[in-house]
Amino acid sequence: MKNVVLGALTFLLTAFAPGIALSLAALMSSPVASQRPDPTGDLLMVLIYYGATNGLRTLGFLIPTALSPAWRSWSTKRAVITASVLGLTSPITSLLGLALIIKAVLPMFRWSPWLATGLSSGVPGMVLGLVAIVIARAWPLSKAG
C-alpha cells in the first residue's frame, strides 16, 4: 500500500511542478505583470486549473496501480522513480491521449461536461498507470531485493 500512496503523490507532484513553474515564470516575467488588475487571482486560477487536471490524472494513475499486485510488491524506490518519470511525461501524454479520444469526448461536453472533463484528464492518467504496471511486470524484483 505504501507504493500506491507514495507513487500517486510523486506522480502528482512531478506532473504539477513543470506547469506551475512555467506559469509562475510567465506571470513574473511579463512586463505587464505589475499592471495586472489581479495577479493573485491569476495565480489562484492557475493553481485551481492545474490542481484539477493533475488531480484527475493522478486519480487515473492511482486506479490501475492500486489494483496491480506487481506494482504493490515492487520496491518503494523503484515505484517512486517510475511514478516521477511518468508524472513528468504526463502533460505530453495527456495531449496525445486527448488527441486520440477527442471525437468521443467532445460531444459529451454538451450533455455532461463533468464526465467529459473527467475522461479527458483521467484517461491519460490511466494509460500512464497501465504503463507503470507494464514496467513493474517487465522488471520484477530480484531475490536480492
Q: Provide the residue-wise pLDDT of the chain in tens; the chain has 145 residues.
A: 888 999 999 999 999 888 888 888 877 776 665 566 777 787 888 889 888 889 999 999 999 999 999 888 888 899 999 999 999 999 888 888 888 888 888 899 999 988 988 888 888 899 999 999 999 888 876 544 4
Q: What are the two backbone dihedrals, phi and then psi, of residue 136, each rounded to the nearest 5 degrees?
A: -65, -35
In a domain, 64, yes or no: yes
In a domain, 145, yes or no: no
Among residues 94, 100, 2, which one has the least CA distance to residue 53? 94
Distance CA 87, CA 132 (A): 11
Residue with cell 488531480: 55
In a domain, 17, yes or no: yes
In a domain, 144, yes or no: no
State the pLDDT at residue 144. Answer: 44
State the pLDDT at residue 42. Answer: 78
SS in 3 state form for 98-143?
HHHHHHHHCCHHHHCHHHHHHHHHHHHHHHHHHHHHHHHHHCCCCC
Query: Quick one: cell of 97?
Result: 491521449
Burial of 19 (0-12, 13-18, 19+ CB in 10 A): middle
Considering its fold, how many domains does the chain have in total? Answer: 1
In a domain, 84, yes or no: yes
State the pLDDT at residue 34. Answer: 59
In a domain, 129, yes or no: yes
State the pLDDT at residue 94. Answer: 86
Q: Which domain holds residue 85?
A: 2-138
* Contact criterion met (CB below 8 Å) for 19 and 91: yes
* Contact criterion met (CB below 8 Å) for 66 and 4: yes
In a domain, 143, yes or no: no
